[in-house]
Structure 1
């Protein structure tokens, strides 16, 4: 087992990361203009209130505190004045913080939800061949971790914009108070920005690597969980644990390196504003001693710098998130820009129902990454109302043919027809409404029996129709024996059911839809022969309105067919009745005789076990 990592461009220079990150941010702003605008408005209110706090303290110091100190008299009016001024600034600050945080969160999560829907829709549009080339863990990482990384920057972004506004207001206020002292203080900010840029230069490749490793850990974990049966049966627990340990340790080391880089730079970045505050206090005290400034102005300037020390960090937070945004965006765009999504035409099938007719003309199909075609120049016709059995050795292309018939994949060359219409010309939803496939590997949802049969559809979801479908599929007996009948929750992937029970419910799911074309890909392989005979009899009973195309391995299924098509190496070798093929096709005769011997041996073993 191996992890197929999705190729993502490595970060280049810091400027390139910054430029691409800003493009990602701008695309998010265009997607969520209103919530983002309200968040920025709140950030500006917060910035104005934060800077206004320093002005308010300076004003209170000049007009209330200093006179009280000079006269040594504290009046109630003075105290109320202090309270009123600071309370007004506080209310504006609180309103700004609420608007900033709430609407930044709304914008960020709206973007995440929107892109998850886009990615999921793309997953559903892309053909099975694309999914076969991409591990499930990687797809989960794209839809969750990568999208979250892309838009996490929207949490600190409005605050960073507010900080820029704050710096403009603060700069004007400091210049108004004293240009020389403002110049001394403002020297801090170029140093702060330079430190942040150096910080990003080191952080960009480290945080990018960490994000990629998160996806790889998810891929390894998902693969191990999906292969739980194989891991347990083959005694590979230690090897899988070691494989997962290797990936997690690599991620741990990458995250430690990120933390070490933060730990090195953040104290330096935090110290720079403090040094600016000390410089302002020192120079301001010297100017007060010379009578060039009063104490209130120095207090206002010093407090302003102390207020700016933390908010300015928001710019660093945005810069720190941009590399993750770029990596996440690249990985998500890899999915959204993937080609191969099935196109649909405007055609509809004639109304009125009745069995469907399926046909293929000179169809060739090659699996991704392979050179030899899996299906080569196959022409096949399944008459309306008939049952056609596809028979052939393992790997002969039978499952590929049925996938082509219901357009789970498209041929490289040739045409697949449904009621005489090219399936590529049919409108979206026409084929699922006409044809239903039941695969050998069935999937059950963590839902009730009823939910797994109807899949949430309501137009035919009366209990009577569900029970009828279960009866034809020979599933009604064990469902009635369940504690809650149709309302019994069968567990994730049908974990509370046997393989044969899952197959019969999957068959009932298909029958309930009353398809005009029913495709069975060895869909009764996990049931006993006696149960299979009853299922096939039920299908004969229900077959009057449908055409059946079945991949057959058992003689009972083959004998049900009106036409048998023998396939070898991706080609149709012969077709006809079972008796005709046995007489004239040596490969078919050898295969079905082997099926018959295997069935006889199994029956003998079962009889011996019963006698014992």
Structure 2
């Protein structure tokens, strides 16, 4: 989505008008009120010229002729002009208020739509799109799409002003009107040149806003890596480079506007001067009165403004188009998971099976060509209801991907995944998460209380929350927190240690009493003794639950009823720990490495205790 270039100007205009039509259809009521207000403004602005001419004719000219003005004449002039101004102000308020509401409603609606689509799309789609770009889609691109609705009602309303003013000028004096109207072709030509110059510059600036968001988000997300490796200066320079590009692009937009604005603003002034010059000659020859010249000159000055207002709309079109392209790329994204209407059985542990399942990640080469990275290859697996199964294998062997497939976070490229003999593709939306829970490798906590992070808004009472925390071996440290369950944990749980975050995440899964519980190295940040206590409690508490554990420690492996050994995306062997030790060389080598690591860690701990 970075690098989207606009097609030729005509296509941009067509796309922009299509976006406008879509927005009007979505906010028809408020937009109609805004256009009505703009129309009142346009008509009353035109009537202001008539009122000025009429008061000059009926009050000012007689006062000048008499050499004095009476109180009645002053009240007459003030009353007429005040009435016109008051109605005009009502139109302006209606236009701006309703137009603003329409614009902000559209922004809110499409931010919700984009976010909802993000949540619908599978992880495989998110793997291919940077988070910074997605943030830009939901924020800057939605805003750019609908900002055109700020000047749009006024532009439509001033078309009425333009027509009204031209008709009035022609009625007063056709010749003088034609003199003034000769500048309109010049204004239109200048605006066309302005749009052609601005379109590519505004498009580039909008694209760079997304790039800045992407780099900033990546730098903030990697704050721990950046600081621990001393790369602050490098990241600062990387952000500076893209921020400077955006600055230069915005300066170029301003520079282009600065070149055109004086010329466009001066053309109506030249027209007004021409009208006054010719009008003065016509007054001397008796063809017009001074009041009529004043009326035509004022009408001309206010009819030149609508052309400029239309230019504001045309100036927003390129940004609106590029913003909509980025937003619609998300809304129209394919790959959203299809769902059926079947329900999974409730109330007992679930049996899980994978039949000839394969899955590969799509990645892009430096040349931008798509390629695939196989992660799971032709896996067939059957896990009985109520069993505890350990997935074991070297790093990068496909264990986490297999866990994601069992939860239907992604769909297999081939083969089927079944829970209780039901193909997960046939399950209704949300059906899998009602019976299964996953605790992933990377623990995520919301900037909320401990209670909020465990319940995630579900209606669980505090007693249930504490029971889940007990199972996850987290109750003790939560009680020591300043506010207990009401303690806010900070963004991503920043106020807790890694092991504490993992235990809160475990409680979050346990409280849902899942029929299938998948733990993807979910206890890696806790001590082995604590891990063994957690797993023992889980096993005791989950007698009605099937447990799948991605295991790296012997304590975890030994608690399993069955071990599945995975290598390079294939299930190489499965059986009990003792069976695999005797027949699977890869498993034996891995277990030996685990045992060696555990022995070394125990030796270090013992030495530290002796030294103390």
TM-score class, shorter-chain normalisation, is over 0.9
Q: Tell me the equivalent position of 2:410.
A: 409
Q: Tell me the equivalent position of 2:532.
A: 533
Q: Tell me the equivalent position of 1:554.
A: 553
In structure 1, C-alpha distance between the alignment counterparts of 2:229 and 2:372, rounded to whole Å: 32
Q: Tell me the equivalent position of 1:382.
A: 383
1:311-369 C-alpha deviation (Å, 9 max, x unpaired): 43211110100000111111111111211100100101234x11111111111111113
Look up the SS of the partner of 1:396 in the other structure.
coil
Look up the SS of the partner of 2:495 in the other structure.
coil
1:182-206 C-alpha deviation (Å, 9 max, x unpaired): 1111112221111101001111111
Gaps of 5+ in 1: none
The answer to whether structure 1 residue 220 and structure 2 residue 204 are counterparts is no
What is the aligned counterpart of 1:363 among 357, 364, 376? 357
In structure 1, C-alpha distance between the alignment counterparts of 2:312 and 2:580, rounded to whole Å: 73
What is the aligned counterpart of 2:12 among 17, 21, 34? 17
In structure 2, C-alpha distance between the alignment counterparts of 1:566 and 1:423, rounded to whole Å: 24
The 8 Å contact of residues 148 and 320 in structure 2, kept in 1 or not, is answered as yes
Q: Tell me the equivalent position of 1:68.
A: 63
Q: Tell me the equivalent position of 1:339.
A: 334
Q: Tell me the equivalent position of 2:473.
A: 474
In structure 1, C-alpha distance between the alignment counterparts of 2:603 and 2:303, rounded to whole Å: 87
In structure 1, C-alpha distance between the alignment counterparts of 2:415 and 2:556, rounded to whole Å: 29
Shift in Å, 1:373? 2.4
Q: Tell me the equivalent position of 2:264.
A: 269
1:556-589 C-alpha deviation (Å, 9 max, x unpaired): 1101101110111111111111111111111101
The 8 Å contact of residues 32 and 111 in structure 1, kept in 2 or not, is answered as yes
In structure 2, C-alpha distance between the alignment counterparts of 1:436 and 1:350, rounded to whole Å: 15
In structure 2, C-alpha distance between the alignment counterparts of 1:267 and 1:522, rounded to whole Å: 65
In structure 2, C-alpha distance between the alignment counterparts of 1:371 and 1:198, rounded to whole Å: 47
1:92-125 C-alpha deviation (Å, 9 max, x unpaired): 1111111111111111111111111111111111
In structure 1, C-alpha distance between the alignment counterparts of 2:8 and 2:271, rounded to whole Å: 30
The answer to whether structure 1 residue 323 and structure 2 residue 301 are counterparts is no
Task: Between 530-539 and 368-377, report the one with greater CA deviation.
Answer: 368-377
Give the TM-score normalised by the residue count of structure 1.
Answer: 0.97
The answer to whether structure 1 residue 6 and structure 2 residue 2 are counterparts is yes
Q: Tell me the equivalent position of 2:606.
A: 607
Shift in Å, 1:248? 1.1
The alignment covers a number of residue pairs equal to 604
Q: Tell me the equivalent position of 1:501.
A: 500
Q: Tell me the equivalent position of 1:238.
A: 233
In structure 2, C-alpha distance between the alignment counterparts of 1:138 and 1:553, rounded to whole Å: 35
**RMSD (Å) for aligned C-alpha atoms:** 1.1
Q: Tell me the equivalent position of 2:125.
A: 130
Gaps of 5+ in 2: 364-370
Q: Tell me the equivalent position of 1:156.
A: 151
In structure 2, C-alpha distance between the alignment counterparts of 1:365 and 1:562, rounded to whole Å: 27
In structure 1, C-alpha distance between the alignment counterparts of 2:236 and 2:388, rounded to whole Å: 48
In structure 2, C-alpha distance between the alignment counterparts of 1:397 and 1:569, rounded to whole Å: 7
Shift in Å, 1:164? 1.1
In structure 1, C-alpha distance between the alignment counterparts of 2:551 and 2:101, rounded to whole Å: 54
Mapping of residues 486-497 of structure 1, within 5 Å: 486-497=485-496
Shift in Å, 1:307? 2.9
The 8 Å contact of residues 130 and 214 in structure 2, kept in 1 or not, is answered as yes
Q: Tell me the equivalent position of 2:464.
A: 465
In structure 2, C-alpha distance between the alignment counterparts of 1:551 and 1:325, rounded to whole Å: 47
Look up the SS of the partner of 2:21 in the other structure.
helix
The 8 Å contact of residues 270 and 309 in structure 1, kept in 2 or not, is answered as no
The 8 Å contact of residues 520 and 549 in structure 2, kept in 1 or not, is answered as yes
In structure 1, C-alpha distance between the alignment counterparts of 2:483 and 2:300, rounded to whole Å: 69
Q: Tell me the equivalent position of 1:437.
A: 438
Shift in Å, 1:468? 0.5
The 8 Å contact of residues 447 and 490 in structure 2, kept in 1 or not, is answered as yes
Shift in Å, 1:372? 5.0
Give the TM-score normalised by the residue count of structure 2.
Answer: 0.97
In structure 2, C-alpha distance between the alignment counterparts of 1:7 and 1:415, rounded to whole Å: 37
Q: Tell me the equivalent position of 2:544.
A: 545
